[in-house]
Amino acid sequence: MLSEYLLSHFQQVPSGSALALNRQLYLALRDALRQGKVAAGERLPSSRDLAHDLQLSRNTVMTALQQLEAEGYVYTQTGSGTYVSDNIPMSMARPSVPWVTSAANSTLSKRAQSLRDLGDSQTLEVQPFTQGPPDFGSFPLPLWQKLQNKHWRMTYPDMLDYNPSGGFAPLRRAIADHLRLSRGLQLDSQQVIVTSGTQQSLSLCAQVLADVGDPVWVEDPLYWGAAKALLASGVELLPIAVDDQGMNLAATQGQAVPRLIYLTPSHQHPTGAVMTLARRHQILQQAHAQGSWIVEDDYDSEFRFSGPPLSSLQGLDPEGRVLYMGTFSKALYPGIKLAYLVVPKVLVEPFLQLHYDLNRPGQVPMQAAMAEFIALGHFATALRRARQHYSLRRSSLLAALQPCLAQGATISGAEQGLHLCLNLPSHMDDQALAAQAHKAGLTVRALSSYCLKRRDLRGLVIGYGYAPLSSIERDGPVLAQLVCGALG
């Protein structure tokens, strides 16, 4: 079977191809594995058999297999053969993720088709429990308008140019001060790059630090926005399961540590798991030893309601292996499209240059208004107010969900952020339950829809940032009743 597939694949390679035979075989085998032609844990035909079937030298076959082993696609067991590993990197070429939703339009590039197929992007629905958006209603809009107007009046023509410096200097300083104080970061403002969103920050990290085809460790389940930004940058996702202590590093044993690792250590998205201190130190040590870079997405740490205060992974890192990403999307409003990336000192110069070359950043007057918003204490006030609102909504939701806990559900990730995860037994159909909730006018997301390779997770991801308290008080019990009915 495998030999037949490989033979037909070889026939597609133009004769006289500049690619060495071992490279051609490696590519064909890699495609076969990614397409699931041989399942995880299954043994490959012996190198002798492959060489015979494909009319190649055994050396050619062995070289291809060694390359696959080095990249973690297969492993050998002495005396018994070569087996397909559990952690096949996922690529644009692999459509077999559970998120696949639509037939691809053949006029698009393969990349665009795969990105479209990789789950829906959750357009904003004005409904209770929508996960993601904060409460726009509590944002101090009149004050913001006043500041914007003031800075547009003060704008002089040079401020309409692109922004080559990583952002408006007073804003970079204000962000650095805020992060030093509230997140324990070690930084100076030169390390801050203002971007137009977390996806831009992450794409930049992937483009600058990884090559096309490089594997990147990501958490499974995973934020779809990170998955798409990474895949669009040409890297491959190597999903690592998350448990209640964050990314499970034991599952990576035997794998080479990749150049890039993407983590949400303070509030794993979407399970809410907090990465333990022991695992934080372990991954920092691994990154240091292997020369890898960790991208820390700290998207909602402004809102911490219970549990011990958590500092950032960047703040624990003496070696400068962490790139830290934050955003104003949750703290203020998503359409502000203002985020920041903090890079280690050694990376400041290339990141500034490539951020400029790839994005041509601008928005100087808006950034000036934002700098003043922070400097005058409005940001701190807005956060304090928002925390109070969210804290009440969270308590109301937690109270409403109590009956579900008595029937076997558990809650994770309620200590911080704007969503929590209601974990359900693994035999349940969480997507059907989410669809049922949707019919009742409640927007929740199925936990399984965030999974890349895992099949064991079921639950509902429930937001409490967007809906007002009155709506949570009214609709929380409705949701709980629905879940209890399904739990039976």
Between CA 87 and CA 73 the distance in angstroms is 7
Own/partner contacts of 406-414, CB < 8 Å, gap of 24 or more, are 407/484, 407/487, 407/488, 408/487, 409/459, 409/483, 409/487, 412/244, 412/271, 412/272, 412/273, 413/267, 413/268, 413/270, 413/271, 413/272, 413/273, 414/272, 414/305, 414/306
297 vs 430 by CB, closer to ligand PLP:
297
* Choices 191-199, 340-348, 355-363, 448-456 (CB under 6 A): range interacting with ligand PLP: 191-199
Closest CB 68 distance from ligand PLP, rounded Å:
32
Interaction residues for ligand PLP, span 233-292 (CB under 6 A) = 264, 269
Position among 95, 140, 184, 334 found at the interface with ligand PLP (CB under 6 A): 334
What the block records as the tokens of 229 is: 């930004």
Q: Is 299 in the site for ligand PLP (CB under 6 A)?
A: yes
47 vs 131 by CB, closer to ligand PLP:
131
Interaction residues for ligand PLP, span 344-383 (CB under 6 A) = none
* Choices 181-189, 197-205, 230-238, 245-253 (CB under 6 A): range interacting with ligand PLP: 197-205
Q: Is 223 in the site for ligand PLP (CB under 6 A)?
A: yes
DSSP notation for 129-178: T-SS---GGGS-HHHHHHHHHHHHHH--GGGGS--TTSS-HHHHHHHHHH
**What x-and-dash track marks residues 36-75 binding ligand PLP by CB under 6 A?**
----------------------------------------
Closest CB 202 distance from ligand PLP, rounded Å:
8
Query: What is the total count of residues that contact ligand PLP (CB under 6 A)?
Result: 14
Interaction residues for ligand PLP, span 103-132 (CB under 6 A) = 132
3-class DSSP assignment, residue 378: helix
Q: Is 416 in the site for ligand PLP (CB under 6 A)?
A: no
Tell me if the bond preceding 221 is cis, omega within 30° of 0.
yes
Contact criterion met (CB below 8 Å) for 400 and 479: yes
Position among 67, 82, 191, 329 found at the interface with ligand PLP (CB under 6 A): 329
What the block records as the tokens of 313 is: 């992974």
341 vs 472 by CB, closer to ligand PLP:
341
Dihedral over Cα of 183, 322, 325, 162: its sign: positive
Q: Which residue has the tokens 């991208």?
A: 295
Q: Is 198 in the site for ligand PLP (CB under 6 A)?
A: yes
Position among 115, 232, 339, 421 found at the interface with ligand PLP (CB under 6 A): 339
Q: Cα 252 vs. chain centroid, distance in angstroms?
A: 18
Residues that bind ligand PLP (CB under 6 A): 132, 197-199, 223, 225, 264, 269, 297, 299, 327, 329, 334, 339
